[in-house]
Structure 1
Amino acid sequence: MSSRRPRALEARAALLALVALFTAGYLAPYLLPTIVGRLSAGLGLGAAQAGLVGSILLLGSASAGFTLAAHGERIGPRRAARLGLAAMAVGYGTAAATSAVLPVVAGAVLGGVGSGTATAVAAAGIAGRPDPHRASSLGLLSVSATAGALYLTLPHLGGGHALPFAAIAGTALLVWPVTGRLPGRTPAVRETPAAGPLPHRSAGAVLAGGILLWSMAQNALWGVSGRIGLTQAGLSEVTLGMVFAAALGAGLVGVIAAGALGSRLGRAVPIGAGTALIACCVLLSSAAETPASFATGEILWNAAYPVVLSYLLGLAASLDPRGRWAVLVGSASSLGVACGPVTGSVLSEAAGYPGMGLTLCVLLLLVAGPMTAVARLASGRPLVPGSIRRRGGAPAALLAATTSAPPSLLPQLGAPEQEITEIAVPVPASRRRAVRSAFRLARPAGRG
């Protein structure tokens, strides 16, 4: 009992470290509207130019994720996390300290590489947890709360692009101490060979392509939401910050609901129905001409977005316990996020905000089908010791898959059975005689 408690405390500390790292890595995309808006106002950039800077930042994040997916195991989680946090602190700190366009862009790119590295380490670690959906939900809960607090605070501290960049750099420095809880090297995973091929290649590729377009559509609107609120819906900057904070607060409620719901509905229903709801909210927000309609669309959208994202991240983590699909799908999401600001700026200038919203709505409905199919057809983790009895075999695995058990405890059909080890237990002679006497008394008498 005494040895179990330190192990449980270590596991909890490692989970908190992953959640903190996830928060730091995802903070830049969550603050994208205020970053793009302040770059446009403070540096004199046009809407498309400011969106391009945001896209370059997030493109650096995506490239770091793809690179770490191939070489992360050799570097080790602790060292990679510290390199990522250092790049965030230096890059975003440089962008905050200058008003020249080129140093701001260079600092944003370096900071984006750091954000992508931190996110990739967190995603790989979350994939190795017993319940990746719960871990990813905690990460989204933390980053939503942090971004919401910043949206409430930053408008009262002044304008300019320096504040959001400084906030992200400061978050990276605050997270640095908890990286000591991460392992120095990637622990071996028993269920997967050390150099085995990627499992579920077709499902993973479809999921990665779908989430790329899904994230691009989300962030095409998110990148121009500030301009829609200010120019089309008639909000002030302070009121706009309150709307964004309320929207992220709704996201907190959504993440809590997703964590409580767990796998009761499976993954297909939340992903498919949630994406359809998001498509409708995108249409409402982009066409809003009053503060009430804009706030309604943003709040409903941000309540549904983290719910669907948590199931998508959990699905990616379940495809490979070593976390390779989690990192690749997360990097594809970052690539979609990177394309979002430019896509939103170009579409809004070409077709107006309502036309942009209609285009994004159709795109989301088109990608909902393939991602839902992956959630329905792709099975997750291999057999977990103790999840079913050995004699249950494939029927027991099939029965377990139809229940509301957590995905991490569901065995795969055809998984190798666990070996049974017989243990000899010595029984005293007096106990054997008592058992034989009880058996004779309980045996019914024969006929005749």
Structure 2
Amino acid sequence: MSAATSKAPSGLATLTARVVMGFVGTWVFALMAANLVPVLIAAMVQDLGVDIATAGALATGMTAGSAIAMFVTTRFIANADRARLGRLGLVAMILGYGLAAALLTTPAVMGGLMLGGIGAGIMIATGTAAASSTQNPDKTVTTVMVINRLGATALLAIAPLFHNDLRSVLIVITALGVLGLILAGGLPNLPGTGANAASTAAAAPSTGSSTAERALSATTIILAISMCLWSLTEDMVYSMTSVLATQAGITPETSSALLAGKVGGGLIGALLAPLALRWIGRSWSLVIIIAVSTITKFIMITSGSAVAYGTSIIVWGVMYGAILVLVTGLAAVMDVTGRVGVIVSGFYLAGVAFGPLIGGQLVGTLSPLQYALVVTAPSVLFGAALFVISRSRRKFEDGNTTAVVVAEPAAAHNDAAPAGRA
């Protein structure tokens, strides 16, 4: 497919089949390892003979590698050849998980997970930045997340067939990396990358641009820190579902099925998020969804009822998918170069990284009520920050539009909100 057929008149990419496959081969596949963290933890406990705290620490090393790689990649992601950069990440992912599968010793698994995590981070960074270079970042994010939820649901649904066999899980992730090498070529670059990239991002007059950039930088920092705290507490629950399910009297087989249902719920949430964005706007959608998510997390941890746990984890999954789409879409709309999206996603992954580690240390020492308060309290701050950010600009609130060119004057993008919108 020629470049001309995959680009809109503005130069921003449209979602052709080739472009979508580029996102699948990088962003979607990179997220699969993170989706499989509970399975990896259980498999490491069984096959490596480590305790759950150590297994959680190994999973933390993997995701921390992804976050670090994303922060490094942020510096040059705007002008990079994203297909080439994505393939570099895929090679690291293949080598890392392949090495761990081949040797299957604790040191090899530790090193392999970290190398694979670094590769996944590069892939997530390229996919996240590429989303900002499409005509409708919210639509792109929704498409990617829906495909990710479908794939993750399928993987978790067949996870019981692995019988917590660590080598089998690692081989599956490695195979996805190999397939990604074929698909990655469709990732879109920022129009005018290379010598003309700077002029593309700063095409507007310089007057007032520093004010706009400072305002956006402050918003980015607040959004990134909020996302980190939220993802940290979410994964303190997600990575400990095997413990919480046992507490509710649920068998490991049923727990695996519910975990697949939770990720499947994320698919429903990803599909519902664009409707909520259109009907009531991003700010109120996030407030309502975060409130429901917080309540269901609390019930999962404190209730000893299998019915309450099973219902809550499915609803929680729906809310998680919706939140991820709405926040990732917000970050993608905030900067056409993709830097904001990569920074926010990097902080999100940092939270994901330390969730298993902190969760593994606290779940056995705190009472269920104490643990529930620890993982739900940050959601209040997260929701408040997102509400304020979403309502600060009409473009952020409504979504479904092209991304902001950061260097343009503040007045160019700080559209006046209609009556009733702050």
Do the structures match in fold with TM over 0.5?
A: yes
Flag the structure with larger Rg: 1
Given residue 265 of structure 1, which amino acid in structure 2 is its aligned partner? I
Cα distance in 2 for partners of 1:269, 1:77 equals 34
Distance 1:409 1:334, change over 3 A: closer
Mapping for residues 2-401 of structure 1, pairs under 5 Å: 7=7, 11-12=15-16, 13-73=18-78, 75-182=80-187, 187-188=192-193, 192-193=201-202, 198=213, 200-229=216-245, 231-378=246-393, 380=395
Amino acid at match of 2:330: L
Aligned residues: CA RMSD: 2.7
Report the Cα distance in structure 2 between the residues aligned to 1:217 and 1:374, rounded to whole angstroms. 21
Matched residue type, 1:300: V
Which letter does structure 2 place at the counterpart of 1:216?
L
Deviation at residue 4 of structure 1 after TM alignment: 7.4
Residue 391 of structure 2 aligns to a residue whose secondary structure is helix
**Is 1:203–1:378's contact at 8 Å kept on the other side of the alignment?**
no
Distance change in 2, residues 1:27/1:380 (3 Å): same
Residue number in structure 1 paired with 2:402: 408
Per-residue CA distance 1:398-448 (angstroms, 9 max, x = gap): xxx8xx6734399997329xxxxxxxxxxxxxxxxxxxxxxxxxxxxxxxx
- Contact 1:268–1:373 (Cα < 8 Å) also in 2: yes
Find the residue that maps to 2:75 and give its secondary structure: helix
Structure 1 residues 331, 405: closer, same or farther in 2, change over 3 A? closer
Cα distance change on mapping 1:83 and 1:355 into 2, 3 Å: same
Amino acid at match of 1:35: L
More displaced, 72-81 or 272-281?
72-81
- Aligned pair in 2 of structure 1 residues 208, 10: CA closer, same or farther (>3 Å)? closer
Give distance in 2, aligned partners of 1:98 and 1:58. 21
CA–CA separation in structure 2 for the residues paired with 1:109 and 1:180: 25
Residue aligned with 1:321, SS: coil
Q: Distance in 2 between matches of 1:7 and 1:212?
A: 34
SS at match of 1:266: helix
The question of whether the paired residues in 1 share the 8 Å contact of 2:138 and 2:400 is answered with no
Deviation at 1:314, TM superposition (A): 1.0
CA contact (8 A) 1:315 1:380 kept: no
Question: Helix, strand or coil for the counterpart of 1:351?
Answer: coil
CA distance 1:283–1:71, shift in 2 (3 Å):
same
Unaligned ranges ≥5, structure 1: 382-400, 417-448
Matched to 1:24, the amino acid is F
> 8 Å contact 2:335–2:404 — kept in the other structure?
no
Contact 1:228 1:353 in 2 (8 A): no
User: Following TM superposition, by how much is the alpha carbon of 1:56 offset from its aligned partner in structure 2, in angstroms?
Assistant: 0.7
CA distance in 1, matches of 2:23, 2:61: 26
Amino acid at match of 2:202: P
TM-score normalised by length of structure 1: 0.81
Offset at 1:186?
6.6
Assess, with a 3 A threshold, how the Cα gap between structure 1 residues 109 and 307 changes in structure 2: closer, same or farther: same
Task: Summarize deviations over 1:122-156 as a string: whole Å, max 9, x none.
Answer: 00000111111111111111111111111111212
TM-score by length of 2: 0.86
Tell me if the contact between 1:19 and 1:135 (Cα under 8 Å) persists in the aligned partners. Answer: no
Compared CA separation, residues 47 and 379, structure 1 to 2 (3 A): same
Return the alpha-carbon distance in structure 2 between the equivalents of residues 322 and 355 of structure 1: 42
CA distance in 2, matches of 1:61, 1:39: 20
Q: Compute the displacement of 1:162 (Å).
A: 1.8
**Contact 2:262–2:315 (CA under 8 A) maintained in structure 1:** yes
User: 1:185/1:320 Cα in 2 relative to 1: closer, same or farther (>3 Å)?
Assistant: closer
Provide closer, same or farther for how the CA distance between residues 282 and 246 of structure 1 changes in structure 2, counting only shifts above 3 A: same
Post-superposition CA distance 1:84-139 (Å, at most 9, x none): 11111111122222331000000000000011111000000001111111111111
Matches of 1:25 and 1:56 in 2, distance apart? 15
- % identical aligned pairs: 24
Alpha-carbon distance between aligned partners in 2 of 1:264 and 1:324, rounded to the nearest angstrom: 29
What's the CA shift string for 1:156-195, capped at 9, x where partnerless?
Answer: 2333222222222111111211122235787446762289
**Aligned equivalent of 1:445:** none
CA distance in 2 between partners of 1:32 and 1:3 (Å): 37
Contact 1:154 1:163 (C-alpha < 8 Å) held by counterparts? no
Q: 1:29 to 1:74 in 2, by over 3 A?
A: same
Per-residue deviation at 1:262?
A: 3.7
1:186–1:92 CA distance, 2 compared to 1 (3 A): farther
Letter in 2 for 1:193: A
CA distance in 1, matches of 2:146, 2:34: 15
